[in-house]
Each structure stands twice: as C-alpha cells, then as structure tokens.
Amino acid sequence: MAASLGAATMPPVSGAEAQSLPGGFVYLREIDPSIIQDIRYATSNNFVGRPLAGYGAGECVVKREVGLRLKAVQQELAAQNLSLKMFDCYRPARASLDMVKWSQNGRESAADRRYNPEIPKTELFRLGYIASRSQHSTGAALDLTLVDLKADNSAKIDPSKAYADCTAPVEARLPEGSVDMGTGYDCTDTKGHTAAPSINPDQRAWRKRLVAAMGKQGFVNYSKEWWHFSLPGAGGAAYDFPIPPRH
C-alpha cells in the first residue's frame, strides 16, 4: 500500500510498449543483482490474496536514478552484513485501482484480518492506507525492509498453518525472511507507523537504521508505513504499463 499521489497523468500503453520499459525505467536487478527481491503483489502472498492487475513478473522496476541510489544504500549495508529486500517498486496504476476495488467488495476474510487486524477494509482508503493514485506508479516510491545476512532466513510459508495477524510476535506471524521490524509488511495498524510507541527497543532500532540508511541517499519515509520510501523530485507522471518479465 502507499501514500497517495496528487493529480497525475496515466499515459496509454500499447501492446508493443508492454513488452519493454518506458524511457527512464530500469530493472533494479540490472543495476544491483545483490538486492533481494520479494515482489509480493506479483504473488498471492499479499493482503489481497492474489496477484494484482499489471504484475506480469515479480521484478522491481524503478526510475534509473532511484536504482542507482538504492545501489549506494546496498553497498553501505553490505559492509554491515545487511541487505535491502524489495517488496514493491513501480506499481501499475491499474494495480492501485485493483486495491481500491478489493477494499470495496463487501467481503472480509480471515486472511484479510492478518493484514488489517483492527481497521475494516472499507476504511483503508479514507485513512490513507490505500490510494487510487500512488507514488509507486511514478517509479520513485518503494516498499522495502532489511535482511540480516548472518541470520537464518530460510523459513517458508506453510499453507496449512494458521498464522497470527501482522502485529503478533515475529515467530507467530507470516515469515518474511527479514529482520523483525515489529510488524509484518503491509500491516494496516498503528503499530506499523514508523514511530509507533508500541514496539520494543530492538524493533525501533531496526526501523531507525533503515530510515537512516535510506535517508543518506535522499529517500523519505512515509510516517504511516515503516516500509514505504520515496525519492522527492524523481517521480513525475504516473504510469500504467504492466511489468513485463526481464529478458
């Protein structure tokens, strides 16, 4: 999810354009393949429970300047045995509209409650957790976390297990193969706010470490989501081209 974007244009996309990236956009993997990627909206492991419209591949696509700055962040983290892990990068505008439709479909499942333990899904748009126009669609906004490369990050999701919601202790919620930031990714709860007082000192220290590392390269955090960052001035118009597989 993400903070909203103001008025923006969404250029039409032809079939030919859908097979490649528009000028100025790059695959992050081609700039820095060491950055871990887990593009959740290309899978069913997200708050909607299915791949979102426009995610034709689980690839992080960004504006080139954003990618180069992420590479610089990664280089600094590597010296500390840490890595960035990308959850979402460029997001087709149609995917944001898909989120809005989901929030208004009148159904609320147990899987939904894992991500929205206290807030009804119909309120997510009003409260700023879902936006019909997202900064992600400019290629200059990101959802990410940190991975401790010395830790055991091998835990996989067990479809037969009844996991606790995103605010639960790390051992009870869905495994994400990353440091414990106090909540899971996309947790629409006040505990997911970057400066939430309800997290423990270690979790707060990890959040501060992430914000500081990203801030050195000019990225700004969104206060309601510890995982969301944007690069002021690097965005521009919103786009709606689908994310194609990288060849």
Please write the tens of the pLDDT for every residue from 35-84. 999 999 999 999 999 999 999 999 999 999 999 999 999 999 999 999 99
| pLDDT of 205 | 98
Q: Where do the DSSP E strands lie in the chain?
A: 25-27, 36-37, 61-63, 82-88, 141-148, 220-222, 225-230
Q: What whole-number distance in Å separates Cα of residue 241 and Cα of residue 187?
A: 27
| Residue 1, pLDDT score | 62
How is residue 186 written in tokens?
């996309």
Return the pLDDT at 108: 82
Token pair belonging to 228: 């969301």
Cα angle vertex 225, ends 79, 133, to 5°?
115
From the list 66, 9, 25, the residue with the least C-alpha distance to 243 is 25
For the chain, the first-to-last Cα distance in angstroms comes to: 28
Q: 108-154: per-residue pLDDT in tens? A: 887 778 999 988 888 888 887 887 788 999 999 999 999 999 999 99
Q: Which domains does the chain have, with CATH numbers?
A: 17-230 (3.30.1380.10)
- Calculate the dihedral angle through the C-alpha atoms of 213, 206, 28, 3, rounding to the nearest 10 degrees: -90
Question: For residue 159, what pLDDT is reported?
Answer: 86
Check residues 12 and 192 and name the one with the higher pLDDT: 192
